[in-house]
Amino acid sequence: MRYGVFGDVHANLPALQAVLAALRAQRVDGWLCLGDLVGYGADARACVERVRELDPVLVGGNHDWAVAGRLDLDWFNLAAREAIVWTQRVLPREHIEWLGSLPLLHEHDGITLAHSTVHDPEKFDYLQTPYDAFESFRQMRTTRGFVGHSHVPITFFEGPAITYSMESPLQLGPARSLSNVGSVGQPRDEDPRAACGVYDTSTQVLELLRVTYDIGAAARAIRAAGLPDILAERLHLGR
């Protein structure tokens, strides 16, 4: 299988459309989605519809669960909270219930998906350090794992010491691995282009893609929706 891997869409339709086109051009034949379809951005309904059409293997994120009332809003900063409340207003009930039904951890085809960490998915901690990866490897039952949430692309490898790589393409090889392919709709590694990945199960190669998209259109939609300006601004900065 060639999986298109993506997550942290955050209701950014121009970014999602660009990513799906780039992944289709890579001839992917399956989809892995790491959650957070909504929150921050202004295209909640269209993004949920596009992702549901793909019928991906997917997990839910903290923003998805918050919109569905499964996570306390105190958990979020002010701008994020405003976007969640706005999303609850504009998203049809049926989509909200669907978001709330998404699991936080899922195994498929020898691959574990989690939005935050494999070891404590309901705590929504970031998997950012070798120690975080060590904790998740202890709970992970598969060879491969993908996470989202930090919006920063990186792969950790299990071994006598945990190592990591940010290279692409990356041969994942025999060691167990946990990868983050970055965020579609709100990159935070100071590269404002949308991020996603292609994982080929036969070659075991993970390729990270960066895709240019119409950031101005996404920012205008956020301002037109009356959402906090910072949510528009940060898209241009990639953080």
List contacts with Zn ion (CB under 5 A).
Answer: 8, 36
Q: Supply 52's token pair.
A: 């549901």
Q: How far is the CB of 193 from Zn ion (least distance, A)?
A: 16
Strands 205-211 and 170-171: antiparallel
| One-letter amino acid of 128 | Q
Q: 151 vs 176, which CB is nearer to Zn ion?
A: 151
Helix/strand/coil for 237:
helix
Q: How far is the CB of 216 from Zn ion (least distance, A)?
A: 22
Beta carbons of 80 and 74 less than 8 angstroms apart: no
Task: Rank residues 132 and 158 by Cβ distance to Zn ion and give the closer one.
Answer: 132
Concatenated DSSP letters of 221-236: HHHHTT--HHHHHHHH
Nearer to Zn ion, 60 or 145 (CB): 60
Nearer to Zn ion, 8 or 189 (CB): 8
What whole-number distance in Å separates Cα of residue 55 and Cα of residue 48?
Answer: 11
Q: Which amino acid is at 122?
A: E
Q: Quote the least distance from Cβ 52 to Zn ion, whole Å.
A: 18
Grouping H, G, I as helix, E, B as strand and the rest as coil, residue 15 is: helix
Residue 6 vs 199, nearer CB to Zn ion: 6
The conformational region for residue 53 under phi > 0 = left, psi -120 to 50 = alpha, else beta, is alpha
Q: How far is the CB of 221 from Zn ion (least distance, A)?
A: 18
The CB-of-63 to Zn ion minimum distance in angstroms stands at 6
Complex with Zn ion: residue 64 or 158, whichever CB lies closer: 64
Q: Report, in Å, the least distance between residue 195 CB and Zn ion.
A: 12
Rounded CA-CA distance 180/223 in Å is 29
CB of 66 to Zn ion, least distance (A): 11
Q: Which segments of the chain are extended strands (E)?
A: 2-6, 30-33, 57-58, 105-108, 111-114, 144-147, 154-157, 163-165, 170-171, 177-180, 194-200, 205-211
Measured from the CB atom, the residue of 60 and 158 that comes closer to Zn ion is: 60
